[in-house]
Amino acid sequence: MIDSTKHQGLRRQLVAQLKEKAITDSAVLQAIGDTPRQWFMDPGLAAYAYEDKAYPIAADQTISQPYTVAFQSQLLALAAGAKVLEIGTGSGYQTAILLALGYQVYTIERQGELFKKTERLFRKLGLRPKRQIFGDGYKGWPEAAPFDGIIVTAGAPEVPNALLAQLKIGGKLIIPVGTEDQIMTRLIRKSEKEFDRTTYGSFRFVPLLENKN
Ligand code: SAH
């Protein structure tokens, strides 16, 4: 797969733009700087890989905007080796960023076409999530719970209880909540029953769909 000097130059510019947009976490900036986004995009759209925009992928879904990927990764802010569950594998780009951050990644996708495509792509790129799951991420992945972090990359009408239940004490859930627009939300588990909730800006994601496999 190609990563030309032109791509590398554009990627450095993207990293500089993200810094201007208040992405300050150096590990996140490095992960974005090290990960060729064109590999996760439709070949016909590769020329736009370093535009800070979302683009269509298969199955009517989208690859998230780099700023959004960086913002969610920065909110997660876990140590290397942390166990992280991603809901919505999609293009696999956010998965690749989580792997570049040194996390043990579990990732779930409900669209068969995307699941198969990313399975092939990860193999080709030598990317190794702990587990790639075809299924409904609304339910989380109890088999590997509890997690240090859970990141939801689709717009959730509400916070699924199953995901809260699968966080370690001290663990973080990063989830965009809302139907048309979403408010980026971080929940930190303080105890068995208590969660600290902080909200950030408004974002726009494709919907998190429940029970539709
Ligand atoms: N992280 C992805 C974002 C893809 S868009 C990327 O960087 O490209 C969100 C993805 O969430 C879509 O692929 C969609 O199919 C998936 N999704 C929606 N509801 C889901 C559910 N209940 N379980 C698993 N995946 C889901």
Q: What is the pLDDT of residues 52-111, one digit of tens each?
A: 999 999 999 999 999 999 999 999 999 999 999 999 999 999 999 999 999 999 999 999
Q: Where are the domains of the chain?
A: 5-203
**Terminal-residue alpha carbon distance, the chain:** 32
Phi, psi of 102 (to 5 degrees): 85, 15
Judge if the beta carbon of residue 93 lies within 6 A of ligand 1. yes
Asked if the model's pLDDT at residue 213 lies above 70, the reply is no
Ligand 1 centroid to 145 CA: how many Å?
Answer: 20
Closest Cα to atom 4, ligand 1: which residue?
90
**5-203: in CATH 1.10.1760.20:** no
Contact between 45 and 12 (Cβ < 8 Å): no
Preceding peptide of 142 cis, ω within 30°: no
Rounded distance, CA 169 to CA 90, Å? Answer: 28
